[in-house]
Amino acid sequence: MLDNLTARLDKAMKSLKGEGKITEVNVATTIKEIRRALVDADVDYKVAKTVTDEIKEEAYGRDVLIAVKPGELFTKIVYDKLTALMGGEKKEMNLSGNPSIILVAGLNGAGKTTFTAKLANHLKKQNRQVLLAACDIYRPAAIEQLQTLAGQIDVEVYAEPENKNPIQIAENAVKYGKENGKKVIIIDTAGRLAIDESLMKEIEEIKRVLNPTETLFVVDAMTGQDAVTTAKIFNDRINYDGVVLTKLDGDSRGGAALSIRRVVDKPIKFIGTSEKMDGIDAFHPDRMAQRILGMGDVLSLVDRMQQAYDEDEARRINKKIRKNQFDFNDFISQIEQIKKMGNIKDLVGMLPGIGSKLKDFQIDDDAFRPIEAIINSMTDHEKANPDVLDGSRRRRLAAGSGRTIQEVNNLIKQFGEMRKMMRKMNQFQGAGGSKKLAKMMKKGR
């Protein structure tokens, strides 16, 4: 979503990154271009003007023009101001109480119910006992949708399909959760419009009765400045604790992510990154600022890796590598681990200096399909014994997977090279390993 903004900011700041003489004139020009880029990204004009005025004041106050590395210093100032604009630091949810009660409110079509299930999955991974409460009695099939999503993550849903009183359903859900040892109860309420007075009063009453430990407002990031406006209206009514921006993986300009904290004065706590049940991330203003400036987001990438990381599986794979027994069954297992981390393009975009360059390239989860098709066409014996894949077997694999014989050959060749590299790396584990590695590197010069 923010790729265009990243490209615009990078272009605006090039003259201050060693590609031109640093003067007061081009610093002022760069600041003006940054303001235009922010406004074009749908950032509120007053917010864009305020933040660029702060950048200008800071730049001149810190003597950017006479600094040893003026471009780097200016980039640091912009990074600091963008981070501050989005809240400065990550804000945690309040999960006090026994049980903790999280009230989720939002507009129609903002992805509120899907987020509710994603949040349950997020908390379940933290070993918390979660209960979902289906309190949307107005939208057809809303209860069924929540139950379907909850079934994918094995989380219980409390529902009373015949009850038309959402306040009573919420109270009963909390009572049921307490009786059954649930540590977190997430209340999924009906989507509503800011102009719908009866539903606005209803959500106010639900909050008053439940006294939740955390109230989250879900808003569609693709609605731009409308998202900021509605967030402010809802905050005036229910005084929520944090904002959730869904559909941040979409194609809109994304200015809401930059404006909402300054206008509403409430932190963004989660962002939606994909349609999958693990497609949410805690919002880190500093990491988002890094991504916007093309610095990547290695810390979030590490977080994703840790979430997908299976220690038992890693030990099993490492043992097979040591014995030189890594096969196609292990290879496909590693692909599944990578796919758990999320959208491939999003992951690559977290690498420094790469994200903005890939905005015109189509990278998606289908990238692994040819490999999976070929491996799935192998017999169990072939997967466990890659060396038996002779010419006739390869032709059969090509026909069975719908891929070309060249693709099959390339995969088997690359797999063989990977196994050789694993064998070499295995030699340097244990006593004397570092000396062997140094010797090999010296020979390679």
**Element housing 182 (H / E):** none
281 is known to lie in a ligand binding site: no
355 is known to lie in a ligand binding site: no
110 is known to lie in a ligand binding site: yes
Q: Which of 250, 415, 240 is nearest to 326 (CA)?
A: 415
191 is known to lie in a ligand binding site: yes
| Residue with the two structure tokens 């590609």 | 19
Q: How far apart are CA 117 and CA 148, in angstroms?
A: 10
Q: Which of 119, 163, 115, 173 is nearest to 137 (CA)?
A: 163
188 is known to lie in a ligand binding site: yes
Q: How far apart are CA 131 and CA 180, in angstroms?
A: 10
400 is known to lie in a ligand binding site: no
Q: Which of 295, 238, 226 is nearest to 263 (CA)?
A: 226
120 is known to lie in a ligand binding site: no
Structure tokens at 222: 């693709």
190 is known to lie in a ligand binding site: yes
In the beta sheet, which residues pair with residue 244?
A: 218, 270
Q: How far apart are CA 64 and CA 188, in angstroms?
A: 50
189 is known to lie in a ligand binding site: yes
The DSSP symbol for 431 reads T
Backbone angle region of 203, left / alpha / beta, with phi > 0 → left and psi within -120 to 50 → alpha: alpha
- The packing angle between helices 45-61 and 255-264, to 10°, is 90
272 is known to lie in a ligand binding site: no
Q: How far apart are CA 397 and CA 392, in angstroms?
A: 9
296 is known to lie in a ligand binding site: no
DSSP E strand boundaries for 34-183: 100-106, 130-135, 156-158
Q: How far apart are CA 228 and CA 268, in angstroms?
A: 12
Is the CB of residue 234 less than 8 Å from the CB of residue 194?
Answer: yes
| Residue with the two structure tokens 């101001």 | 81
One-letter amino acid at 260 equals I
106 is known to lie in a ligand binding site: yes
71 is known to lie in a ligand binding site: no
Q: Which of 106, 158, 168 is nearest to 130 (CA)?
A: 158
Q: How far apart are CA 189 and CA 345, in angstroms?
A: 33
Residue ranges of the annotated binding site are 106-113, 188-192, 246-249
Residue ranges of the annotated binding site for GTP are 106-113, 188-192, 246-249
